[in-house]
Structure 1
Amino acid sequence: MGTSYLEQPLLTSPGQPLRVAVYSRIAHGIRTGVFPLGTALPRETELGTALGVSRTVVREALMLLEEDGLISTRRGVGRFVADAVPHAGLEEFRPLELVLAEPGVTIELRHVELTQQTATDFVSTYLQLADDARFWFREAIASRNGEPIAVVQEYLPVGDDRAGFGAAVEAALPDIDEARSTVLMRIIDRTGLAFVTGVCRIGVSVAGATRAKQLELKAADPVMLLTQTADLDGRPAYLAKVIVAPSVGHLAVRQSSGG
């Protein structure tokens, strides 16, 4: 399974180093269980062949993975997935399933709606679309071990002309009502497209009548609002609004000093 996952086309955006794309592919595989905790990774040469990159690129990506605590090296034996994966916070752009992922926790999405709409002010602003442009709107309810914890609204442009992206969106949508994931997760899983810039705006609000019913809350209960955007080829390509229930607890943002 790991080999077929690695052999999916490795697509990068202009200016993105190959080592970052390789890092993202392997890290995603670790976090989603393609490479189980504590197991050995393929050797450098095998990784390079499967991914279609040089051994130098693989070695640089593995170094980054080790620095971030996702793998470890056993001298004379090989590289292994960490026994426990660090919980990544909001500082890295990733599908919601990975933002909320924790060991022993199952995150699933229940499909609510998929429609094609004309751009609203909200969508036009964030995706930089013309006023008469069309976009896909997908809404789903995210549950953690069966408990509803977030309303996930995804917005993607229709007929995008960036290489591979428009086709990836169209391929991910026909059976999305049967999927237990975000559209973003399906696109990344199937294509490996690398979104090079992600911004997450954090706000607070109240649930309101409709969202309270979806999340099994009271209308006046507080919720966290996450507005995520990501660029592809220097232009906004993905927008999501996530309404998060208080039961999720804290969401971390790692900080470091400059230098």
Structure 2
Amino acid sequence: MSTLYRRLADELRAGIANGTYPPGSRLPSESELAERHGASRGTVRQAFTVLAADGLISSRKGTRRLVLGPALRQSFSQLHSFSRWAASIGETSGVRMVELVRREPTDLEAERLELSADTRIYHLTRVRLLSGRPVMVERTAYVERIGTLVGGIIADAGDESVTARLEELGVVFAHAEHTVSAITAEAEDARLLGVRPHSALLRELRRTTDPDNRPLEWSDDRYLGDAVAFTVHSSVRASTLIRSSAPSR
């Protein structure tokens, strides 16, 4: 069994450690590394697989591999806000607006937002981008008083962080419940993210409440499987949920 791919992986790992390839930079392409080391592209891909398994580079194929930074502990505001999280890992956030509609809540939305069936909600659908790459479909149901504000924010600012603007307007996001699960992409998710149907996605369901524990929003966020990882740190006293950019395994 050839060990060339392991030597190559060790060399690249050393380059990442000493700053030759800092977090956020791209490694040389498969063809460049193959020529430089007199190896096949298959050998280079094996080295990439080793580094991806160690969480050092992205596992996305068809492009130069991205060097990943260490998982970052996040404040509540970073975990709640995609834009703040992107900034915390050195990425540029972006958004593609799909729709904002005022409608009756579904049974699940009414339950999670503690609403009666005859009330109205605002439902926002957007595609979130990391440095230009679509990585998440965001579907958020807001109680009407918050949704009215969201409508004004979207009309005025478009791609600005909705969370930050709501906070400026006096809305306090105090508590959140998160449920994370693995799913496959439905047709609409696949179309919005530019992937094949049934591709692996990570789903985060989130209910956010104010300081009086009144529901403000119920969100169904669906991430590309190789875009993020969620880590829970547990102890007797507390558990901390961390979102990080990470490769799929």
Unaligned runs of 5+ in 2: 1-69, 239-249
Partner in structure 1 of residue 91 of structure 2: 105
Structure 1 stretches of 4+ with a deviation exceeding 3 A read: 84-87, 89-93, 99-103
Size of the aligned set, in residue pairs, is 167
Is contact 1:200–1:228 with CA below 8 Å preserved after alignment?
yes
* Residue 217 of structure 2 is aligned to residue 238 of structure 1: yes
Question: Aligned pair in 2 of structure 1 residues 115, 240: CA closer, same or farther (>3 Å)?
Answer: same
| Equivalence map 1:1-259=2 (5 Å) | 86-88=72-74, 94-158=80-144, 160=145, 166=146, 169-176=147-154, 178-188=157-167, 190-232=168-210, 233-258=212-237
CA RMSD of aligned residues (A): 2.7
Q: Secondary structure at the match of 1:186?
A: helix
Is the contact between residue 112 and residue 140 of structure 1 (CA under 8 Å) also seen in structure 2? yes
Change (3 A) 1:111 1:225: same
Give the residue type in structure 2 aligned to 1:132: D
Cα offset, 1:85, TM superposition? 11
Overall identity of the aligned pairs, in %? 18
Which has the greater radius of gyration? Answer: 2
Query: Which consecutive residues of structure 1, in runs of 5 or more, have no partner in the other structure?
Result: 1-83, 161-165
Distance change (3 Å), C-alpha of 1:135 and 1:228: same
Q: TM-score, normalised by structure 2?
A: 0.59
In structure 1, the residue corresponding to 2:219 is in which secondary structure?
strand
Q: How does the TM-score come out when normalised to structure 1? A: 0.57
CA distance 1:210–1:155, change in 2 (3 Å): same
Q: Distance in 1 between matches of 2:85 and 2:105?
A: 27
